[in-house]
Structure formats: C-alpha cells, structure tokens
Amino acid sequence: MNKKIWLSSPHMGGTEQRYVQEAFDTNWVAPLGPNVNGFEQDLETYLNQNVFVGALSSGTAAIHLGLIILGVKAGNEVICQSMTFSASANPIKYQCATPIFIDSEAETWNMCPKALEEAIIDRIAKGKKPKAIIPVHLYGMPFNAEAILEVANKYQIPVLEDSAEALGSTYKNQKCGTFGDIGVLSFNGNKIITTSGGGALVAKTREIKDKAVFFATQSRDNAPHYQHSEIGYNYRMSNIVAGIGRGQMEVLDKHIALRRAMHDFYLTYFKDIKGVKVFTEPNTDYFSNHWLTAILVNPEQTGGKTREDLRLALDSENIESRPLWKPMHLQPIFANDPYYGGTISETLFNNGLCLPSGSNLTNEDRDRIKLTLDKFFRE
Ligand SMILES: *Cc1c(COP(=O)(O)O)cnc(C)c1O
C-alpha cells in the first residue's frame, strides 16, 4: 500500500524539542511556566495589534471562556456561523444558551452580513437581543470583517472571532484573531501550527486576558487558602506543550508559504478542468493562510462525476480528502435551533471537498495526487 497522504498533518520545525527539554531540565512540568509566557509573547508579537494572549488547553476552551466573559448565560441567544466545525457552536450549549445559525455568503463561504442583520432584527423583534456573534474564518479565509463588524457595531453586539483555522491570515493587512472583541486560536494536531492540542484567547485589554486566565485556573480568589467566588475551569495550557508552540512559531510564516504553494498547485491543476472551482481569495483585501484548499465539483459540468466520486477515487489511492464542514443547522444535535439564510452553505457542503494541504507534502506526494486526479478527470 502507498504511504498515506493526509489532509493536514503536524509539521515540526526542529526546535520544538529543545523548548520541551528546557521545561524538563528546569522542572516546569505544570500548566504555567516560561514556555507558556514565551508562547503568549510570541503570539502577541506576531498578531501585532496591541493584544493580550492567554494560552489555553484548546480552542474550544477559548470559545467557552470568551462566551463567559461576554456574559452569555442560560436562556441567552448567541449568533453563530452555520458552516463551521461544531466546536464553534458547542460552547453556546455549555452555557445553556441558544445558538442562532446564519448562512454563508458565496464569496468567502463565511457568515453572510445580510443574513446576520436579518437575524438580529428578527430576534430583537421576538424579544431577545443576541448576546454575541461568532463568525469564523473558514479554512483560513477571512470573513468580510468590515461588513460583519459594521452590523455588530450598529446593534452593539460583541464579536467572538473564531480564528481557529486562520492564524497568519489577514484582512486589509490586519491579522485574523484581532478583529473581534475577543479572538480565538487553535493549535490542535491538524491546524496551521500545533502544540498537539491547545488554543488561545486573544483579548483587547490586559484585564480581559487576566480574567480568562483566572477562569482557566479554577477561579481562585486572592487568599492563602483555596477560596472561590465564581465557577472555575481547568483550561490553562501546559508548559510542556507551550514549548512545542514556541518552536512552531519559528516556522509559522514558512509553513504558510508552503500551504499557499499547495493552493497554487491546485489552482494551476484545475485551471483547465471543467466543472471544478478552487476556493480562493475574492480580492486583494483577503490573504488566506490556505490552511486547507477546497474545491467545488459541479457534476453538471464534469460529466456526472461528483465530489463523493472524487473522494472515493482519492481514498482508493490512500489519499485523504474530506467533504466541507456540514452546516450546523443541518446537524441532528442543532436541528431545533433557529436558522437564518438560504441554501448557500448547504450547496457548498453538497459539492465541496477539502484536498491534501499540509506544509509537509513532498513533490512525490504532489505527483501522486496529480496522477490520481488525471485518472479521475481525464480518463
Ligand atoms: C479546530 C477548531 C475549533 C476548536 O479548536 P480545538 O483546539 O480543536 O478545541 C473551533 N473552531 C474551528 C472553526 C476549528 O476549526
């Protein structure tokens, strides 16, 4: 059997183990220490927007704490992009609040600003003003930050920006993760950089970062004994995995360039394949890290070949590919929650496929992918 080609797999730069070794050598084997502080500083410098970063155990934890800090409580409503990974929406349920799902726009595949405003107007008319908005930069593609923030500001609703897939992406030269009142990053195993598992909350003030770290470390009051006035969580990042993060930061921009080269490889390949469209930046305001390159397959123009046919053809050659995120409003678990918009995200889901996009793919891997695509589309 051929070696497996993954959609997106961890890609170490080489210095990660040095930082981890340092943690062992100095016995900082705990959810605090020099690597945690250093990784936070690296991220703050990289985001370059006067932000304060709190390193956490996962992106999901960052979304959960973000909602708590924004005051989301039982019975509240929170607006969320429908087309996303379920981790964007699950923390709304942790708070016993109701997600209000919004369709995508065709250009960015992210939250449609028009459907967002319709939803806000209708929810307010029904008697409940949404407490927060969670837009997502899907596959690294920035959402239309200008339009989304304009609606959010008009109705004075805070934005919790899910930038889990978009570290290094920019919109109008501003880094993703710095647009919302609170931003969220993820360092899970398949993301643009990884700490094996981890995440971060990006705050606009030191107070908010400190509050996040307070909640993440069991909400201990300032007392010699263990005293608690608020419910706490165990969400802080370990000093061991933060060492991996410090090493990964050294190669982040190099790995983004490699992902973008993978994207160019697909753009070139599909230029003359009828019925296949590569998802790419709508204009130069957008710069995607191209965490994953995705395509849309239109069976009416490919002689009936569907994205599922292609997925199976790649799979038979041991090449991983994956349908787009199934929209949340179509998920059994969220079936009873309100949804605003049309069928854009549903159509994207039906026709879209993510292709191998890792920064560690080799020329040999690309040759195998190309051969398999040739066999599928040209024979
Ligand atoms: C990965 C991801 C998350 C969750 O991050 P974890 O670190 O895996 O908890 C949230 N939202 C989106 C869009 C993601 O892709």
Which regions of 266-342 does DSSP assign to beta strands (E)? 276-278, 286-287, 293-297, 322-323, 339-340
| Buried residues in 244-278 as b, exposed as e (16+ CB within 10 A) | bbbbbbebbeebbebbbebbebbeebbeebebbeb
Residue 285 DSSP label: T
Distance CA 165, CA 158 (A): 20
55 by DSSP, 3-state: which? Answer: strand
Q: What is the predicted pLDDT for the residue at 354? A: 98
Which regions of the chain does DSSP assign to beta strands (E)? 52-56, 77-81, 98-102, 132-134, 160-162, 170-171, 174-175, 182-186, 199-203, 276-278, 286-287, 293-297, 322-323, 339-340, 352-355
Distance CA 169, CA 176 (A): 6
Q: What angle do CA 352, 353, 359 make, to 5 degrees?
A: 135
Q: What is the predicted pLDDT for the residue at 1? A: 72
Tokens 């398999």 belong to: 372
Q: 110 in ligand 1 pocket by Cβ < 6 Å? A: no
Q: Look up residue 345 and give its two tokens.
A: 């995200």
Q: Is 309 exposed, middle or buried (0-12, 13-18, 19+ CB in 10 A)?
A: middle
Q: 16-25 and 239-249 are packed helices; what angle lies between their axes, rounded to 10 degrees?
A: 150
The fold for domain 16-251 equals: Aspartate Aminotransferase; domain 2 (3.40.640)
Residue ranges per domain, the chain? 16-251, 253-377
pTM of the model: 0.97
Q: 241 in ligand 1 pocket by Cβ < 6 Å? A: no
Q: 8 in ligand 1 pocket by Cβ < 6 Å? A: no
Residue 187: what residue type?
F
- Given a contact cutoff of 8 angstroms between Cβ atoms, the answer to whether 80 and 100 are in contact is yes
Task: Give residue 55 CA to ligand 1 midpoint distance, Å.
Answer: 14
Q: 160 in ligand 1 pocket by Cβ < 6 Å? A: no
Question: Which residue is closest in CA terms to ligand 1's atom 14?
Answer: 164
Q: 188 in ligand 1 pocket by Cβ < 6 Å? A: yes
187 by DSSP, 3-state: which? Answer: coil
Q: 165 in ligand 1 pocket by Cβ < 6 Å? A: yes
Q: What is the predicted pLDDT for the residue at 379? A: 81
Q: Look up residue 185 and give its two tokens.
A: 């990053």
Distance CA 211, CA 200 (A): 13
Query: Terminal CA-to-CA distance of the chain, rounded, Å?
Result: 23
Q: 87 in ligand 1 pocket by Cβ < 6 Å? A: yes
Q: Look up residue 242 and give its two tokens.
A: 């933060």
The fold for domain 253-377 equals: Aspartate Aminotransferase, domain 1 (3.90.1150)
Q: What is the predicted pLDDT for the residue at 2? A: 85
User: From the alpha carbon of 62, which atom of ligand 1 is closest?
Assistant: 9
Residue 64: what residue type?
H
Q: 117 in ligand 1 pocket by Cβ < 6 Å? A: no
Task: Give residue 256 CA to ligand 1 midpoint distance, Å.
Answer: 18
- Half-sphere exposure of residue 28, counting CA atoms within 13 Å on the CB side? 21
**Tens digit of each residue's pLDDT, the chain (379 residues):** 789 999 999 999 999 999 999 999 999 999 999 999 999 999 999 998 899 999 999 999 999 999 999 999 999 999 999 999 999 999 999 999 999 999 999 999 999 999 999 999 999 999 999 999 999 999 999 999 999 999 999 999 999 999 999 999 999 999 999 999 999 999 999 999 999 999 999 999 999 999 999 999 999 999 999 999 999 999 999 999 999 999 999 999 999 999 999 999 999 999 999 999 999 999 999 999 999 999 999 999 999 999 999 999 999 999 999 999 999 999 999 999 999 999 999 999 999 999 999 999 999 999 999 999 999 998 8
User: From the alpha carbon of 137, which atom of ligand 1 is closest?
Assistant: 13
Task: Give residue 374 CA to ligand 1 midpoint distance, Å.
Answer: 33
User: From the alpha carbon of 138, which atom of ligand 1 is closest?
Assistant: 13
